[in-house]
Amino acid sequence: MDVFEQSDKYTANTYKRAKVCFDHGKGIYLYDNNGNAYLDFLAGIAVNILGHSHDIVVNAICEQAKKLIHVSNLYYIKEQAEAAQLLVEHSCADKVFFCNSGAEANEAAIKLARLYGKSKKTILTFEHSFHGRTITTLAATGQKKYQEGFEPITQGFVYAKFNDIDDFYSKMNPDICAVMIEFIQGEGGINQADAQFIKEITDYCQKNDILLIDDEIQTGMGRTSKFFAYEMYDCKPDIITLAKGLAAGVPIGAMLAKDYVASAFTPGSHGSTFGGNPLATKVSSEVINFIFNNNILSHVK
């Protein structure tokens, strides 16, 4: 039985896979189990931001694995604190919650926004958006095709047209606690937000005590030549979500928030078993430092 038959027989049928199996990678190249080389344009869906088998990532994994891979968040974790500090220093946020994926980061953002909003519970997102595959992040996603078959999905979301400020205003109501947006919609077709659209949304949210949640799961970590896509705009979000390239291949997610918002979380209100473990956060710190110490953003530009 070859790997294709083995995979089809034993793994869930959730992906339409290309008939290739990679054995190893180096830099921008992947090599299949027959020795063929491929130029990797996909980067693991925006994950392998330093390429394959980068020394920074490999060494951080090996060194940390010899020391400590996982402990509970019931204890202080040095590597987690260091990664959080770096994210705060390079963003407009003050606090960081670590998890394992983009969907989890967005779940944390949604929970925090509803806690902060108290009696206000509705979140406005945009048509053609994509925010994850959990039941709640599917509900946040403004694309029916991802929601079909999974009903009933989580309630409490309304959808406005992207780059249409009149439609945005028409969808606002007194129960809205937050607006959730991708500054560049990825899954929706590579749609970039207009600067004036973002300015008006930002001004409206600030005047009406509505949180602005910036989903940077695909656009963050330098993919736009800015560390965060929001830096291209006159905007400082209240909450930012990250994942994908945050540790250049090691699974990790993060939700960043300003102090006055983050304070809505108290011990027991949210958590994650594996989130912020020493291995993932050590690698993340090394990746972030490498980006800023090696002029990577100017190269991206």
Question: Closest by alpha carbon to 174, among 225, 121, 136, 237?
Answer: 121
Does a structural domain hold residue 101?
A: yes
29 and 85 both lie in a single domain: no
Within-domain flag for 130: yes
Written as tens digits, the pLDDT of the chain (301 aa) is: 999 999 999 999 999 999 999 999 999 999 999 999 999 999 999 999 999 999 999 999 999 999 999 999 999 999 999 999 999 999 999 999 999 999 999 999 999 999 999 999 999 999 999 999 999 999 999 999 999 999 999 999 999 999 999 999 999 999 999 999 999 999 989 999 999 999 999 999 999 999 999 999 999 999 999 999 999 998 999 999 999 999 999 999 999 999 999 999 999 999 999 999 999 999 999 999 999 999 999 999 9
**Phi-psi region at 264: left, alpha or beta (left = phi > 0; alpha = psi -120 to 50):** alpha
Residue range of the domain that includes 13 = 3-41
pLDDT at residue 141 in the model: 98
Question: Per the domain annotation, does 52 fall within a domain?
Answer: no
Specify the number of domains making up the chain: 2
DSSP output for 41-56: SSHHHHT-TT-BS-HH
Give the relative orientation of helices 55-67 and 278-293 as an angle to the nearest 10 degrees: 150
CATH number assigned to the domain comprising residue 91? 3.40.640.10
Query: Measured between alpha carbons, how far is 99 from 96 in angstroms, rounded to an integer?
Result: 10
Total residue length of the chain: 301
Q: Would 65 be classed as within a structural domain?
A: no
Residue 62 lies in a domain: no
C-alpha to C-alpha distance for 295 and 301, rounded to whole angstroms: 10
Residue 47 maps to a domain: no
Residues 33, 79: one domain? no
Q: Kindly state whether residue 164 falls inside one of the protein's structural domains.
A: yes
Residues 24 and 148 in one domain: no
> Residue with structure tokens 């060494």?
59
List, for residues 225-269, the tens digit of each pLDDT value: 999 999 999 899 999 999 999 999 999 999 999 999 999 999 999
Angle between helices 78-89 and 278-293 (to 10 degrees): 30
